[in-house]
Amino acid sequence: MQDDPHLGTGNYDPATYWSARARRDAHGRFESVCVFGASEVENRCADRIQARSLLRAMRRVGIAGSRVLEYGCGIGRWASRVRGLGAEWVGVDLSDEMCERARIENPGCDAQVLQGGTRIPHPDAAFDVVYSVTVLHHNGHEAQEEILTEMLRVLRPGGTLLLMEAVGSAGSFNMFPRSHAGWIAFGRARGLEFVHSEGLHYWVLRGALASLRRPTGRAPSESTSPQSATTAPPPPRRGLVRRMVDHLDSWIDPWIQPLVPERARTGALFTFRKP
């Protein structure tokens, strides 16, 4: 990305990169934690799709009265929504700048930086639910294993782990996805019971229109995942039609997710239970 000092250098250091992203809000407040360089409407679309899926899963689990930890909490965009379900929300993040924004945007909330870059500053079995939205896939596979160990340390037996991650095989500059089956195997290898998964796909209408115009070839970069667009070139000036499609996507996508074929989905929310 032209104006992102940490992209394209070949050296992805999560702490440096995400602290720089914490200061980004050129295209609305979600740009720090959703798609770098995307418009506010596009990011709102991603946010609505994720929210519908995550909050539905939390309702299914029943989190009222629970202590809930968000790992990689960013600017705290989920704090008020989790509290709205009657739970206590606690956040941790690698980036102090992200935690600071979370505390500013959610006065009184508990958002703390990881100790030594890896340790969650809470005791063992302190939480009923631990969740993470688009965080693990921004860390290499070895680091993902270490993060999972920490998440499971603070999750009580019988508690729920929710992971919303990119699904696919190809990584990019700061993306390390796994296949759908790979994420399930990732949890099961730690003795977690796999409960449920739900696929996600962003900007459905735009992707469908683009595929009508593109007889063969690759899928458009924006349909791979919101985060993969962090490495895409700056978006061109959007014309009226494109802006109308983006607005439409932002309203209808959360509702038409079930119509997207399974193989086209680029993200998923996984629910696990700790025995």
Ligand X SMILES: C[S@@+](CC[C@H](N)C(=O)[O-])C[C@H]1O[C@@H](n2cnc3c(N)ncnc32)[C@H](O)[C@@H]1O
Point out which residues bind ligand X (CB under 6 A). 14, 18, 33, 72-74, 77, 93-95, 98, 114, 133-135, 138-139, 147, 227
Question: Closer to ligand X at the Cβ: 77 or 265?
Answer: 77
**Residue whose entry in the numeric block shows the structure tokens 């007889």:** 215
Neighbouring CB atoms inside 10 A of 211's CB total 14
CB of 240 to ligand X, least distance (A): 30
CB of 200 to ligand X, least distance (A): 13
Question: Closer to ligand X at the Cβ: 134 or 160?
Answer: 134
Q: Which residue is nearest to ligand X (CB)?
A: 74
Assigned token pair, 136: 């693990």
| Residue 116 region by backbone torsions, left for phi larger than 0, else alpha for psi between -120 and 50, else beta | left
* CA distances (Å), origin 158, targets 47, 151, 207: 29, 14, 40
Question: Closer to ligand X at the Cβ: 50 or 257?
Answer: 50
Question: Closer to ligand X at the Cβ: 160 or 245?
Answer: 160
177 close to 137: Cβ distance less than 8 angstroms: yes
CB of 185 to ligand X, least distance (A): 21
Question: Closer to ligand X at the Cβ: 88 or 105?
Answer: 105
Element (H, E) at 244: helix 240-256
CB of 207 to ligand X, least distance (A): 21
Neighbouring CB atoms inside 10 A of 251's CB total 13
User: Rounded CA gap, 237 and 250, in Å?
Assistant: 19
CB of 59 to ligand X, least distance (A): 18
Contacts of 188 (CB under 8 A, 6+ apart): 194
